[in-house]
């Protein structure tokens, strides 16, 4: 069976983007393939994280996984730093990847902005660690949002160059799995920007743990245009905010944007936005309640993560050992 690997950074509270673009799809793959899902704490510290908040956010992402339906007996769930092989393989990949490849990463350019001299070296090397996360398990399928596509492609480049340089067919080809209507959930205040955990204003995102009133308020105040909803999806062209709200509705209700438009053709925002808020609350509130319950017992979350790490290590250690041998590192 093919092996799936993916992860989420504990760099703040989970958003609707993380839920629709990642977690919901992680759950959908469980039981179909061998699934390994990580809380990538080593990625989080590529930008400053308060230590107490990092520990809290790590447990909270794990709670989000569990509450949304990931089952630790069916999937391997763990936090990255517990399996030291990730960092070890990343070093080898730092020596395989080329500086020119990193320079082309759009996420780095976006995150570094005008400040590229002042960001951490880790932020620059981020895609190399991500390649290690995936290839350490010889995973082939990587469910991610659209924003991570370039990094998964770089993972392929690293695997190819390693295989080529050492003249061995060792690391497999990885496939980014990007499907469904919500592979890029946009910012509620600016439909050309991605919804992010760490975006400036809380009004631009729906957090998985927002209460019903907050969700209703955020959708109500979300940017939308003057027009009513069109008769067909083609009518959403050049209307990024409207497109985003329709896509969110479709993803939450497991249908297509066409079906949503068929139901709401010609509707005004005064009708659509409250319906969208009700739908989001109906889907998120049970998960959020379960997260609250799970967070009451952090020791149990830690136990699940430690157990998952043991199982992850059992797969990772032999692959890293083989890699060392291929490279010629004495053990
Ligand atoms: N807006 C989004 N739409 C669809 N998918 C998204 N993902 C994140 N935002 C959206 C997907 O969630 C997974 C985990 O992402 P991450 O936390 O590891 O990193 P990120 O993409 O950098 O997420 P954020 O929320 O923007 O975090 P910050 O603000 O801390 O950088 C990935 O599969 C991602 O595609």
Active site residue 111: yes
Atom of ligand 1 nearest to the CA of 15: 25
Identify which of 8, 55, 49 has the alpha carbon closest to the alpha carbon of residue 295.
Answer: 55
Active site residue 194: yes
**Please, what is the end-to-end C-alpha distance for the chain in angstroms?**
31
Catalytic residue among 24, 197, 273, 283: 197
Decide if 176 contacts 183 (C-beta within 8 A): no
Query: Using CA atoms, how far apart are residues 320 and 226, in angstroms rounded to an integer?
Result: 56
What mean pLDDT is predicted for residues 92-99? 98
Q: Residue 199's pLDDT is what?
A: 87
What mean pLDDT is predicted for residues 319-327? 98
Q: Residue 115's pLDDT is what?
A: 87
Question: Is there an atom of ligand 1 within 6 Å of 89 CB?
Answer: no
Question: Is there an atom of ligand 1 within 6 Å of 290 CB?
Answer: no
What mean pLDDT is predicted for residues 282-296? 98
Question: How far, in Å, from the CA of 18 to the mean position of ligand 1?
Answer: 6
Query: Among all chains, which residue has been given the structure tokens 């109500």?
Result: 220
Question: How far, in Å, from the CA of 166 to the mean position of ligand 1?
Answer: 34
Decide if 79 contacts 38 (C-beta within 8 A): yes
Active site residue 197: yes
Query: Tell me: the pLDDT tens digits for 8-20?
Result: 999 999 999 999 9
Query: Tell me: the pLDDT tens digits for 105-121?
Result: 999 999 998 888 999 99
Query: Among all chains, which residue has been given the structure tokens 């709200």?
Result: 245
Question: Is there an atom of ligand 1 within 6 Å of 196 CB?
Answer: yes
Question: Is there an atom of ligand 1 within 6 Å of 198 CB?
Answer: yes
Query: Using CA atoms, how far apart are residues 58 and 308, in angstroms rounded to an integer?
Result: 14
Query: Using CA atoms, how far apart are residues 247 and 262, in angstroms rounded to an integer?
Result: 13
Query: pTM for the complete prediction?
Result: 0.96
Query: Tell me: the pLDDT tens digits for 186-245?
Result: 999 999 999 999 888 999 999 999 999 999 999 999 999 888 999 999 999 999 999 999
Confidence of residue 1 (pLDDT cuts 50, 70, 90): confident
Q: Residue 181's pLDDT is what?
A: 87
Class of the 3-177+297-327 domain?
A: alpha beta
Query: Tell me: the pLDDT tens digits for 29-59?
Result: 999 999 999 999 999 999 999 999 999 999 9
Domain residue spans of the chain: 3-177+297-327, 202-292
Lowest-confidence range among 76-80, 128-132, 225-229? 225-229
Query: Among all chains, which residue has been given the structure tokens 């590192």?
Result: 329
| Range 202-292 has CATH code 1.10.240.10 | yes
Question: Is there an atom of ligand 1 within 6 Å of 85 CB?
Answer: no
Show Cβ contacts of residue 237 under 8 Å, excluding neighbours closer than 6 positions.
243
Atom of ligand 1 nearest to the CA of 47: 30
What mean pLDDT is predicted for residues 277-291? 98
Decide if 35 contacts 74 (C-beta within 8 A): yes
Q: Residue 213's pLDDT is what?
A: 97
Query: What rounded mean pLDDT belongs to the chain?
Result: 96
- Residue 142 pLDDT greater than 90, yes or no: yes
Tell me the CB-side half-sphere exposure of residue 137, using CA atoms within 13 A: 27
Taking only Cα atoms into account, the Rg of the chain, rounded to an integer number of angstroms, comes to 20
């Amino acid at each position: 069976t093919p092996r799936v690997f993916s992860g989420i950074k504990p760099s703040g509270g989970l958003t609707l983007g993380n839920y629709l673009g990642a977690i919901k799809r992680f759950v959908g793959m469980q039981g179909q393939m061998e699934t390994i899902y990580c809380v990538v704490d080593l990625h989080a510290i590529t930008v400053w994280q308060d230590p107490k908040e990092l520990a809290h956010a790590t447990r909270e992402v794990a709670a989000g996984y569990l509450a949304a339906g990931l089952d630790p007996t069916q999937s391997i769930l763990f936090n990255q730093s517990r399996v030291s092989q990730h960092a070890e393989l990343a070093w080898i990949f730092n020596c395989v990847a080329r500086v020119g490849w990193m320079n082309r990463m759009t996420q780095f350019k976006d995150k570094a902005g005008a400040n590229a001299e002042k960001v951490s070296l880790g932020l620059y090397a981020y895609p190399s660690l991500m390649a290690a996360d995936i290839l350490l398990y010889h995973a082939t399928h990587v469910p991610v949002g659209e924003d991570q596509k370039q990094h998964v492609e770089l993972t392929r480049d690293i695997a190819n160059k390693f295989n080529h340089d050492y003249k061995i067919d060792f690391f497999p080809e990885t496939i980014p799995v990007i499907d469904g209507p919500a592979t890029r959930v946009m910012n509620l205040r600016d439909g050309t920007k991605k919804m992010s955990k760490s975006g400036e204003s809380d009004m631009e995102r729906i957090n998985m743990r927002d209460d019903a009133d907050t969700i209703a308020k955020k959708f109500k105040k979300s940017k939308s245009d003057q027009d009513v909803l069109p008769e067909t999806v083609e009518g959403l062209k050049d209307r990024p905010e409207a497109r985003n709200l329709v896509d969110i509705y479709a993803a939450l209700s497991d249908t297509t944007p066409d079906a949503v438009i068929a139901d709401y053709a010609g509707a005004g925002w005064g009708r659509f936005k409250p319906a969208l808020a009700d739908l989001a609350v109906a889907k998120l509130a049970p998960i959020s309640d379960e997260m609250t319950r799970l967070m009451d017992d952090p020791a149990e979350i830690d136990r699940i993560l430690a157990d998952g790490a043991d199982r992850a290590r059992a797969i990772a250690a032999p692959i890293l050992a083989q890699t060392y041998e291929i490279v010629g590192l004495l053990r």
